[in-house]
Amino acid sequence: MSSPEIDTNPLASDARTIERAHEFHARVRAEVARTVWGMDREVEFSIAALLAEGHVLLEGPPGVAKTLFARSLATALGLSFSRIQFTPDLMPADVTGTSVFHPAEGAFQFQPGPVFAQVVLCDEINRAPAKTQSALLEAMQEGATTEGGTRRELPRPFLVLATMNPIEQEGTYRLPEAQLDRFLVQLRVGYPRPEVEAQLLLAVHARSPLSRPADLGVRAVSGAQEILSMIAGVARLVRVDALLADYVVRLLSATRESSALLLGASPRAGLSLLRLAKSRAALAGRDFVTPDDLKAAFLPTLVHRVVLEPVEEVEGGDASAVLERILETIEVPR
Tell me which DSSP letter residue 223 carries: -
- Give the Cα separation of 249 and 22 in Å (integer): 28
Backbone phi, psi, residue 128, to 5°? -105, 150
Judged by average pLDDT, the poorest of 170-179, 238-247, 325-334 is: 170-179
What DSSP string runs through 6-37? HHH-HHHHHHHHHHHHHHHHHHHHHHHTTT-S
Quick one: pLDDT at residue 279?
97
Q: What is the mean pLDDT of residues 47-70?
A: 92
Residue 244 pLDDT more than 60?
yes
Quick one: pLDDT at residue 171?
62
Residue 104 pLDDT more than 50?
yes
Q: What is the mean pLDDT of residues 13-35?
A: 90
Contact 293, 269 (CB under 8 A): no
Q: What percent of the chain has pLDDT over 70?
A: 94
Alpha helices in the chain (DSSP H): 5-8, 10-32, 40-51, 66-77, 92-96, 130-133, 135-142, 177-180, 194-204, 224-237, 242-257, 267-283, 291-302, 310-314, 319-329
CA 299, 305, 166, 144 torsion-angle sign: positive
Count of residues making up the chain: 334
Please list, in sequence order, all residues whose beta carbon lies within 8 angstroms of the beta carbon of residue 316, skipping any fewer than 6 positions away: none
Quick one: pLDDT at residue 159?
97
Quick one: pLDDT at residue 98?
86
Banded pLDDT at 5 (limits 50, 70, 90): very low
Quick one: pLDDT at residue 1?
38
pTM of the predicted protein model: 0.89
Q: What percent of the chain has pLDDT over 90?
A: 57
pLDDT per residue as tens digits for the range 109-154:
888 999 999 999 999 888 887 778 777 888 898 899 887 778 899 9
Q: What domains sit in the chain, N to C, each tagged with a CATH number?
A: 5-237 (3.40.50.300), 238-334 (1.10.8.80)
Mean pLDDT of the chain: 88
Element (H, E) at 123: strand 119-123
Banded pLDDT at 2 (limits 50, 70, 90): very low
pLDDT per residue as tens digits for the range 197-227:
888 888 887 888 888 899 889 999 999 999 9
Nearest to 222 by CA among 1, 64, 53, 30: 30
pLDDT per residue as tens digits for the range 123-132:
988 888 777 8
Residue 46 pLDDT more than 60?
yes
Banded pLDDT at 61 (limits 50, 70, 90): confident
What DSSP string runs through 32-98? HTTT-SS-HHHHHHHHHHHHTT--EEEE--TTSSHHHHHHHHHHHHT--EEEEE--TT--HHHHHEE
Quick one: pLDDT at residue 169?
59
Q: Report the alpha-carbon angle 268-261-45, nearest 5.
A: 45
Nearest to 190 by CA among 61, 313, 317, 324: 61
Contact 275, 236 (CB under 8 A): no
